[in-house]
Structure 1
Amino acid sequence: MEVLYARSLDKDIAQASQYGGVVSCLASYLVESGVSQAAILTKADNYGPPKPFIARTREEILSCAGSNYSASPTLAILNDGVRQGLDNLVTVGRPCQILAIRKMQGLREVPEHNLSARKVNFCIGLFCFWSLETEVYAFLQAKTGGKTIKKMDIPLNYAVVTTEEGEVQIPVDELRSFIRPTCQRCFDPTAEFADVSVGSTEDDPEWNTLIIRSLRGQEVVKKALAAGILETKPYPSERLPLLRSAVLNKKRRVLDGAVKDKGYGYWGLSPEYSKGIEEGGEER
């Protein structure tokens, strides 16, 4: 595994994207080079709820650029792509979606409706500490006075909503009621089963955090660098502990919640293991 700062050197992608444009850059490279026939993405019209989208060209990939903070059933469109004869699909998804793909790919006997996962040949995972219910869009419209929303960012403790007339700042605490309940039990905020994981840096808006997690991911990033469309630099040593701490704290919150709610069935924990957690047994 390697953690880097990265950004697209393609000006069109950098301009259309949020942060460094690494997701759009890699998806575009894979499709244009023929490694993948299409990209499974999400697309939001007029900053409404995002919907699954099959992008077959660079232009279609660019039309999906930008961050969405609500959940989209991205994988629902995989079967459509397979029925259309597409093969070797690059898929961009949240950690839970990447995990679902890997589980389906790992089945020895694959049900017919799960065969689409075998058509995924590259996974780009998105950092996701929580996702919002689609009701948040009505809330955002009310907070911005019904103005046209161009994009939203959540740098730290507040959301910055950019409209046609300027920016509106909303405290993150006002968004918490829209967090999907299942996100409170998610143990993987950085898509650990992806080929590469991409998130913001929370330090420099022109760069992404890029985690290379597989040999396939390493190969694709190396080729993108050689093609001159991607740039990387070392991850700042002083920021690495912050990233590790954020991930560790998320995992701890989930385990603490499991203990409090006795939600062991969700995790499939044995009674012995569950009892050990409740009694404050040694860390495992």
Structure 2
Amino acid sequence: MEVVEGIKVPTFMEFGFADLESKVIGRGKCCFCGACIAFCPRIEAIDDIPQLVEYDALCGMCYTHCPRSFLDIPAIEEEIFGKNRVDELIGVHNGIFAARSKDPKLRERAQDGGVVTALISYALDSGMLDAVVATGLSDEVPWKPVPVIITDSSEVSRVSGSKYALSPTIVGVKEAIDSDFERIGFVGLPCSIQALRNIQVSKEPYQIGIDRVKLLIGLFCMENFRYDDLMSGFVRKVLKVNLEDVVKFEMREGSFWVKTKDTTYSVLIKDLDKYVAEGCRYCRDFTAELSDISVGSVGSDHGWSTVIRRSELGQKLFEDAIAEDYIEMGSITGTDLIKGLSRRKKEGAI
């Protein structure tokens, strides 16, 4: 085991799936980001849990790059941003803004201000990216999040809107690499961003093609849910709502909203605590601090998104999308609220 600045860093050949199973999955730390499933052919998702399906050759990549095993944030910041954070609550950044899509039709179908949808539309239209991996919905299971690869801005509706259950979205990154895309973007939660950064800064030889992942857009996330717990355990059994009848889920103003064509149901988010995925309780990152650019609803007026610019690439994407009339800026109103929730998540993590 290598020692870096006094910290014991796990190296590639020292661990196997048994370590991932005992130290992460078995302890309820797994965030189901999909990194281990994506980059190891011997691991599959069974009932939304990574499980070994073939003999483990003790290659160690699943454990070494899991965001719940080891995460050297200062080293990642130094390599990605060229500096370490000054703002402990929000991380490295060069500006916080309110913004929204300039396309009113896009805003209607997207979440909040539709900024993420607008940004990936611009990135694809401009040629900055030739594919974007994000979270869409299954065609077979109602409201179940699944990884989706889009290659044209006309497809962005497939991934617009928030998803309120865990998805192994990084599996889509491996599929995009295998499909020979050269400029891949990724939209995901803080845990998935952490996993991809772990792989990107790795000195190990296995991560073939990870250099094609050019842009990471992170989403604010306080907590998430396992699909069966929220959708079956709460929506179906407690609210008595058929998932097939739901037209939109939304979290805002401290409540979880479930909308059908005829009725709107709401419950306080704090009342969903028992349904929160156990792995989320270990997370200290509210604003996707290691992404190139972060987007969320907290801190902006209803109908607008909050944008945190972080890397030079994230800044360029944001400024170019404004210049090309994909998004417009507004007035940020709740920076203190963002910091307050970030502090709460850091202090509340196990």
TM-score band by shorter chain is: 0.7 to 0.9
1:66 matched to 2:177? The reply is no
Contact 1:194 1:213 in 2 (8 A): yes
CA distance in 2, matches of 1:149, 1:233: 31
Quote the residue 2:257 is aligned against.
Answer: 160
Q: Which amino acid aligns with 1:13?
A: L
1:79 matched to 2:79? The reply is no
Quote the residue 2:224 is aligned against.
Answer: 131
CA distance in 1, matches of 2:216, 2:241: 38
Q: 1:19 aligns with which of 89, 112, 136?
A: 112
Quote the residue 1:194 is aligned against.
Answer: 291
Matches within 5 A, 1:1-284: 1-45=94-138, 47-111=142-206, 114-135=207-228, 136-138=230-232, 139-142=234-237, 143-146=239-242, 148-201=245-298, 204-236=301-333, 239-254=334-349, 257=350
Q: Which amino acid aligns with 2:134?
A: L
CA distance in 2, matches of 1:210, 1:78: 24
Give the C-alpha shift of residue 56 in structure 1: 1.0
Identity of aligned residues (%): 28
Structure with the larger helix share: 1
CA distance in 2, matches of 1:69, 1:201: 16
CA distance in 2, matches of 1:226, 1:106: 32
Give the C-alpha shift of residue 110 in structure 1: 3.2
With structure 1 as the length reference, what TM-score do the two structures score?
0.84
| 1:222-280 residue CA offsets vs partner (Å, 9 max, x unmatched) | 110110111113422xx2222111111211112xx3xxxxxxxxxxxxxxxxxxxxxxx
Q: SS of 2:227's equivalent?
A: coil
Give the C-alpha shift of residue 57 in structure 1: 1.3
Q: Which amino acid aligns with 2:220?
A: F
Distance of aligned partners of 1:186 and 1:73 in 2 relative to their CA distance in 1, 3 Å threshold: same
Give the C-alpha shift of residue 187 in structure 1: 1.1
Q: Which amino acid aligns with 2:264?
A: E
Q: SS of 1:162's equivalent?
A: strand
Q: SS of 1:151's equivalent?
A: strand
Q: SS of 2:198's equivalent?
A: helix
CA distance in 1, matches of 2:311, 2:157: 25
Quote the residue 1:282 is aligned against.
Answer: none
CA distance in 2, matches of 1:203, 1:80: 35
Give the C-alpha shift of residue 3 in structure 1: 0.5
CA distance in 2, matches of 1:20, 1:202: 12
Contact 2:185 2:213 in 1 (8 A): yes
Q: SS of 1:175's equivalent?
A: helix
Distance of aligned partners of 1:168 and 1:33 in 2 relative to their CA distance in 1, 3 Å threshold: same
Q: Which amino acid aligns with 2:105?
A: D
5+ unaligned residues in a row in structure 1: which ranges?
258-284
Give the C-alpha shift of residue 38 in structure 1: 0.8
Give the C-alpha shift of residue 168 in structure 1: 0.7
Q: Which amino acid aligns with 1:81?
A: A
| 1:182-203 residue CA offsets vs partner (Å, 9 max, x unmatched) | 1111011110010110001365
Count of matched residue positions in the alignment of Structure 1 and Structure 2: 251
Contact 2:299 2:335 in 1 (8 A): no
Contact 1:144 1:168 in 2 (8 A): no
CA distance in 2, matches of 1:178, 1:116: 36
Point out the more displaced range, 122-131 or 9-18: 9-18
5+ unaligned residues in a row in structure 2: which ranges?
1-93
Give the C-alpha shift of residue 144 in structure 1: 4.5
